[in-house]
Amino acid sequence: MAQMTSTITTTTSNQPLLKLDNMSLYFGGVRANHQVTFSMGEGLLYGLIGPNGAGKSTIFNVITGLYTPTSGDVFFQGESIKGRPSYELAKRGIGRTFQNIRLFKELTVLENVMTSFFHQTPGGYGSALFRTDFYSANEKIVREKSLELLELMGLIDNAEEKAQSLPYGKQRKLEMARALGLNPTLLLLDEPAAGLNPSETKELTNLIAKIQKTKKISVLLIEHDMKLVMEICEKIFVLDYGTLIAEGGAAEIQSNPRVIEAYLGVED
Amino acid sequence: MQKIKHYLNQTVVKIFLLLFVSFLISWVLSGFPFSDQALSQILFLKPFRTSGLLSPYVYSILILLGINVMLSVSLALLNGFCGLFTMGHAGFMAIGAYSSASFIMFAIPSSTPLLLKLIAAVLIGGSMSAIVGFVIGYSSLRLAGDYLGMVTLGFGEIIRIAILNIDAVGGARGMIDIPQFTNLFSVMFVSALIVLIVKRIRESRFGRTMFAIKENEIAAQMMGINPTKIKVQAFVFSSFMAGMAGALFAHSEGYLSTQTFTFVKSFEIIAMNVIGGLGSISGAIVGGALLTVLPEGFRVLQDFTGIDLRMIIYALTITLIMIFLPQGLMGSKNGNVKEFKWLK
């Protein structure tokens, strides 16, 4: 496994896609993240695990710019993104889903995906008001691309339904489709399998692996379903009480005494 | 056939169509006049209140209806699309009304053709209002929800009281002798134009974005959308259209008083939106029409009953609508009005 990590750093460009450098985040006296340091290469699937309250979602919120770290720094494609607004990071190619689903409920499924193409579409209000050929052509492209994504996620039959009328599992998939619309280089998935039954989880696992391979993007996923994580993640980070306690491949993590301690505790 | 359809979809063609239809309707309602004088009254915007199929009273209600529809639809952009609960819309209307009235009275010679005057009035009213809308929008959008409502309510009152203290526009006495050139034709055309603008925004990526911001601002940010920018844009558009409505209002009555633009007027515009259904354009139109006609339409009852029942009926209707159709008449939950689907 150690060998594998070294090949990662040599095969990808010399700077990591994402790097957290001694990143700490405190809410008053609460230590959400403490001196977390890790880096991610391009085109790989990473897992972020840890017991409840370990600070996994806070890391996502830091990477996507919702929180500004108290100290330390975050680098994306070699550039510091500390304190940058979320929408700018999304434009640069960080897509994410949410633990508690945040869809645009009143919009249709198709419209939900189409919103993610907003900043990629040229033309201002003028072209929209006069409905120029330029505008219609762009709108058509966005529509087709969105439909492609829906096809990929298996939501094509629900395209014209309102997002809120979808069953839970499909809502999770729609969130992923929407994040993919950004054309991200880094995709953050916050508990994609939460609330899904075993067969749905299996299907989703394959889907995530497939998307990651075909679109050649880096994925970082938070998940409590260890089977899913161990099966598809090439590298796993383990958090406990806001600090990074282990990183490595699946086998390495499973035998790591500190990880076992964090999850199961130790005998006195 | 395909080609004809393509041309009908062209915006310029559509606008001419709207012009023609507005003219046709005002022509019919004024009793099919054929004399040059009558036709020029419709086209060149001289208010005519004596001839035609309509009594002057009904005619003035129709004009008020058109203006209220404009206000209601323009507010739908903020309240319904972006979820910005603003309570100062009457302020934007006041700016439009006063700025266009003073421009027409003091800045240009009175011999200017009426058509030019009308275009100038609508554009000046709209632009002045849009500038103020930009300032208010930009400075208050750090706030959300009820707080934004409070601040915009305050701004609306500030505008009104500021105007009240300008002697040049009449101060507390009100502004009198404003040239009247708003007629049914112009009101109908401008309100149709506003509906077209808002509908196009709704159907474009900007409309989708506005709804996204209303539904979930954090998720919208994660889609690469800058919410503040979109909200300020919505503010500018909305206040521009409210200013146009105000300008037409100023030149229909010929008299302006700040008492018209109190927060009661703002609430009335919100009520039009809520009763029609928040976020739906057809709802804003129906709400605007209903809240204009209801308090007026029952005036005739007074002849039979001897007492003024109209305000009771007005209040009762609104209460009943809110009890039985909490989503509003055209709200998204009661999508039973298929005939209006194209209007969104």
d(CA A86, CA A167): 28
- Regarding whether A217 and A150 lie in a shared domain, the answer is no
d(CA A173, CA B142): 32
Contact A53, A66 (CB under 8 A): no
Q: Is the pLDDT of residue B101 over 90?
A: yes
Residue of A nearest to B81 (CA): A106
d(CA B167, CA B80): 37
User: What mean pLDDT comes out for the span B16-40?
Assistant: 75
Instruction: Determine which of A247-256, B158-167, B302-311 has the lowest per-residue pLDDT on average.
Output: B302-311
d(CA A62, CA A77): 16
- Regarding whether A123 and A202 lie in a shared domain, the answer is no
Residue A8: its pLDDT value, please?
A: 43
Residue of B nearest to A179 (CA): B223
d(CA A256, CA A263): 11
Q: Is the pLDDT of residue B112 over 90?
A: no
Give how far the C-alpha of residue B293 lies from the chain's centroid of Cα atoms, to the nearest Å. 15
- Regarding whether A268 and A188 lie in a shared domain, the answer is yes
d(CA A205, CA A127): 42
Q: Which residues of B touch A96 (CB under 8 A)?
A: 222
Tens-digit pLDDT profile for residues B48-58: 555 567 777 88
Q: Is the pLDDT of residue B173 over 80?
A: yes
CB of B76 within 8 Å of any CB in chain A? no
Other beta carbons within 10 angstroms of residue B22's beta carbon come to: 22
Residue B333: its pLDDT value, please?
A: 54
Residue A7: its pLDDT value, please?
A: 41
Angle, helix B89-102 to helix B263-276, in steps of 10 degrees: 120
Q: Do A90 and B224 touch (CB under 8 A)?
A: yes
Tens-digit pLDDT profile for residues A52-64: 888 999 999 999 9
- Which domain-ending residue is among A181, A198, A227? A181
Q: Is the pLDDT of residue A5 over 70?
A: no
Angle, helix B56-75 to helix B227-253, in steps of 10 degrees: 170
- Regarding whether A226 and A112 lie in a shared domain, the answer is no
Q: Which residues of B touch A107 (CB under 8 A)?
A: 208, 211-212, 215
Tens-digit pLDDT profile for residues A191-249: 999 888 899 899 999 999 999 999 889 999 999 988 889 989 999 999 999 999 999 99
Q: Please report which confidence band the pLDDT of residue B273 belongs to, taking 50, 70 and 90 as the band edges.
A: very high
- Which domain-ending residue is among A163, A181, A199? A181
Q: Is the pLDDT of residue A6 over 50?
A: no
Other beta carbons within 10 angstroms of residue A58's beta carbon come to: 21
Instruction: Determine which of A106-120, A225-239, B158-172, B321-335 has the lowest per-residue pLDDT on average.
Output: B321-335
Tokens of B39: 């036709």
The residue that leads in pLDDT, B63 or A7, is: B63
A103: closest CA among A94, A91, A111? A111
Give one DSSP letter per residue of B213-248, joined into a string. HHH-HHHHHHTT--HHHHHHHHHHHHHHHHHHHHHH
- Regarding whether A3 and A89 lie in a shared domain, the answer is yes
Q: Which residue of B9, B212, B332 is in closest CB contact with A115? A: B212
User: What mean pLDDT comes out for the span B65-91?
Assistant: 94
User: What mean pLDDT comes out for the span A155-168?
Assistant: 92
Instruction: Determine which of A219-223, B121-125, B198-202, B334-338 has the lowest per-residue pLDDT on average.
Output: B334-338
Residues 6+ apart with CB under 8 A from B154: B88
d(CA A66, CA A38): 19
Contact A66, B218 (CB under 8 A): yes
Q: Is the pLDDT of residue B339 over 70?
A: no
Q: CA of A178: how far to CAs of A145, B219, B289, in Å?
A: 11, 10, 39
Q: Please report which confidence band the pLDDT of residue A3 belongs to, taking 50, 70 and 90 as the band edges.
A: very low
Q: Is the dihedral of CA A78, A79, A85, A91 positive or negative?
A: negative
- Which domain-ending residue is among A181, A208, A242? A181
Q: What is the CATH number of the domain that holds A221?
A: 3.40.50.300
- Regarding whether A118 and A248 lie in a shared domain, the answer is no
Q: Which residue of A103, A107, A119 is in closest CB contact with B224? A: A119
Q: Which residues of B touch A95 (CB under 8 A)?
A: 222
User: What mean pLDDT comes out for the span A108-123?
Assistant: 92
- Regarding whether A119 and A76 lie in a shared domain, the answer is no
Q: Please report which confidence band the pLDDT of residue A116 belongs to, taking 50, 70 and 90 as the band edges.
A: very high
Residue of B nearest to A129 (CA): B200
Question: Which of A60, A108, A129 is best to mutate for the B interface (most B CBs within 10 A)?
Answer: A129
List alpha helices for chain B, DSSP H: 2-8, 11-29, 36-43, 56-75, 89-102, 114-140, 145-164, 184-203, 205-215, 217-222, 227-253, 263-276, 281-297, 301-305, 310-324
Other beta carbons within 10 angstroms of residue B323's beta carbon come to: 8
Q: How far is B241 from chain A (nearest CA, A)?
A: 14
Contact A237, A55 (CB under 8 A): no
**How many domains, chain A?**
2
Phi/psi of residue A47, each to 5°? -115, 145
Q: Do B215 and A139 touch (CB under 8 A)?
A: no
Largest alpha-carbon pair distance within chain B?
62
CB of B14 within 8 Å of any CB in chain A? no
- Regarding whether A45 and A24 lie in a shared domain, the answer is yes
Q: Do A115 and B208 touch (CB under 8 A)?
A: yes
Query: What residue numbers bound the domain in which A19 lies?
Result: 1-93+184-268
Q: CA of B300: how far to CAs of B63, B295, B303, B306, in Å?
A: 19, 11, 6, 10
Q: How far is A76 from chain B (nearest CA, A)?
A: 16
User: What mean pLDDT comes out for the span B62-90?
Assistant: 93
Question: Which of B195, B204, B223 is best to mutate for the A interface (most A CBs within 10 A)?
Answer: B223
User: What mean pLDDT comes out for the span B76-100?
Assistant: 94
Q: Please report which confidence band the pLDDT of residue A263 belongs to, taking 50, 70 and 90 as the band edges.
A: confident
Q: Is the dihedral of CA A204, A208, A209, A215 positive or negative?
A: positive
User: What mean pLDDT comes out for the span B278-305?
Assistant: 85
- Regarding whether A190 and A83 lie in a shared domain, the answer is yes
Q: Please report which confidence band the pLDDT of residue A170 belongs to, taking 50, 70 and 90 as the band edges.
A: very high
User: What mean pLDDT comes out for the span A115-124?
Assistant: 90
Phi/psi of residue B153, each to 5°? -60, -45
- Regarding whether A189 and A174 lie in a shared domain, the answer is no
Other beta carbons within 10 angstroms of residue B208's beta carbon come to: 25
Q: Which residue of A66, A88, A118 is in closest CB contact with B223? A: A118
- Regarding whether A155 and A44 lie in a shared domain, the answer is no
- Regarding whether A209 and A88 lie in a shared domain, the answer is yes
Q: Do A96 and B11 touch (CB under 8 A)?
A: no
Helix (H, G, I), strand (E, B) or coil at A234: coil
Q: Is the pLDDT of residue A261 over 60?
A: yes
Q: Is the pLDDT of residue A13 over 80?
A: no
B295: closest CA among B319, B312, B274? B312
Residue of B nearest to A135 (CA): B204
Give the up-direction half-sphere exposure of residue B266: CA atoms within 13 A in the CB hemisphere. 25
Give the up-direction half-sphere exposure of residue A57: CA atoms within 13 A in the CB hemisphere. 11
CB of B221 within 8 Å of any CB in chain A? yes
Q: Do B215 and A142 touch (CB under 8 A)?
A: no
Tokens of A47: 């897992």
A208: closest CA among A109, A191, A49? A191
User: What mean pLDDT comes out for the span B237-259?
Assistant: 94
Give one DSSP letter per residue of A101-148, joined into a string. ----TTSBHHHHHHHTTGGG----HHHHHHT-HHHHHHHHHHHHHHHH
Q: Any long-range contacts for B47-53 (C-beta under 8 Å, 24+ apart)?
A: B47/B180, B47/B181, B47/B182, B47/B183, B47/B252, B48/B183, B53/B28, B53/B29
User: What mean pLDDT comes out for the span B263-275?
Assistant: 93
